Structure 1
Amino acid sequence: MKNPRDVIKRPVITERTSEFVEQQKYVFEVDLRANKTEIKQAVEAIFKVKVVNVNTLRVPAKPKRYGKHSGYTSEWKKAFVTLSADSKPLEFFEASV
């Protein structure tokens, strides 16, 4: 198995993904070559929780311009991870009010 820290790159925290926290769903940027089983094992190893479901999608590269220079953003992979009902919530998604 790969190192779990190589599979999970970073959490994706936006307004939309913060609404998923109530449903025990979390969103991560993952390695392009990682499959659902590797993502599940990595989240369970890093956060010590039980994962029920993993959905993935590839975010395509978008054209960008800066003045006369043009290029593309990088393609990346997003994983929606659903935790079991008895799992504890992940602490970095909690709002610090």
Structure 2
Amino acid sequence: MEILKKPVLTEKATLLTEKLNRYTFECDHRANKIQIAAAVEAMYGVNVAAVNTSVVVGKLKTRSTKAGMVSGRAAKYKKAIITLKEGEVIDFYSNI
């Protein structure tokens, strides 16, 4: 099971990073907080102070086609907000 799928790089997540030293990740819905903290520490070599998780419900999407209106839902996912210990940072852009 791959615990961390990808970092969430939105305006809101960037504000959290700049102000409170918190980083947001999309992760496997079966992973718990202990597993998420261990995965972040192993992947980035930092010390995790706290982990907050939430399940983000997918938005309702509609589009117009020749056959009429088609509606569906975007996939739901689990989001983890990681608080790092003082003075530690994760640089997502270092390996590009």
Q: TM-score, normalised by structure 2?
A: 0.85
Q: Matched residues, percent identical?
A: 39
- Displacement over 6 Å in runs of 4+: none
Unaligned runs of 5+ in 2: none
Distance 1:30 1:69 in 2: 29
More helix by share: 1
SS of alignment partner, residue 46 of structure 1 = helix
CA RMSD of aligned residues (A): 1.5
Distance 2:44 2:76 in 1: 26
Does 1:81 pair with 2:68?
A: no
Does 1:90 pair with 2:87?
A: no
Q: Tell me which residue corresponds to 1:20.
A: 16
Distance 1:31 1:57 in 2: 11
Q: Tell me which residue corresponds to 2:43.
A: 46
SS of alignment partner, residue 34 of structure 1 = coil
Q: Once the 2 structures are TM-superposed, how far is the Cα of residue 63 of structure 1 from its aligned partner? A: 1.6
Q: TM-score, normalised by structure 1?
A: 0.84
Q: How many residues align?
A: 89
Q: Once the 2 structures are TM-superposed, how far is the Cα of residue 93 of structure 1 from its aligned partner? A: 6.2
Distance 2:31 2:7 in 1: 15
Q: 1:57 aligns with which of 54, 59, 62?
A: 54
- For the 8 Å contact 1:21–1:93, the answer to whether it is kept is no
Distance 2:93 2:23 in 1: 8
Unaligned runs of 5+ in 1: none
